[in-house]
Amino acid sequence: MTDGGKSVEQRLAECEAIEAIKALKHRYWRFCDNKDPDGFRSCFVSKDADLDYGPLGAYDDVEPIIQIFEHVALRKENGRYNVLDMHHGFMPDITIDGPTEAHGTWTLHFRQINLAEGTESLSAGEYDDAYRIEDGRWKISRSHHRGLWSITRPLTDEVRVEQQLP
């Protein structure tokens, strides 16, 4: 036995679970930034996801947020995306609650270029998440985002934005 009464095997299993959850959250952000709604959807439990993204709304399933994602992130004008996002999540604090349940918090730095509005936004926030194993993989079962601060400024005429997204 080791500290906390857990065996080395139990501690190793928890470390592996934490790393799998970190990879899940990083995939989620990558799918957001790469405009992949199917990948985005795959990060969540199949039903009854508890989501609260502040100004984007609160939902008891992933489908409404997928519709917003498709409407906002996938909108194009003249063959170019109107909105370009960059999620940088870090400082995870993940706790394994049992063999199939966990929860955690993350800090997010977010940057968005909105070509339709001619703005650049920077913000910081925190996620309060829960995770559950479904079909043998960790999935997000709750995700609540709380904004901490933001700044929006106009893009000037000198700014040139290039895109290499699919």
- Residue 1 is predicted with a pLDDT of 47
- Residue range 3-154 forms a domain whose CATH class is alpha beta
Pairing of strands 50-52, 137-154: parallel
- Residue 3 is predicted with a pLDDT of 62
Q: Tens-digit pLDDT profile for the chain (166 aa)?
A: 456 789 999 999 999 999 999 999 999 999 999 999 999 999 999 999 999 999 999 999 999 999 999 999 999 999 999 999 999 999 999 999 999 999 999 999 999 999 999 999 999 999 999 999 999 999 999 999 999 999 999 999 999 999 998 7
DSSP codes, 110-136: EEEEETTTTEEEEEEEEEEEEEEEETT
What is the helix (H) or strand (E) element at residue 9, kind and residue range? helix 8-33
Distance in angstroms (rounded) separating the CA atoms of residues 73 and 82: 7
Sign of the Cα torsion 143, 64, 84, 115 reads negative
Strand, coil or helix: 101? strand
Q: Where are the domains of the chain?
A: 3-154
Whole-model pTM over 0.85 = yes
Which residues sit opposite 149 in a β-bridge?
Answer: 124
Q: HSE-up of 135 (CA within 13 Å, CB side)?
A: 8
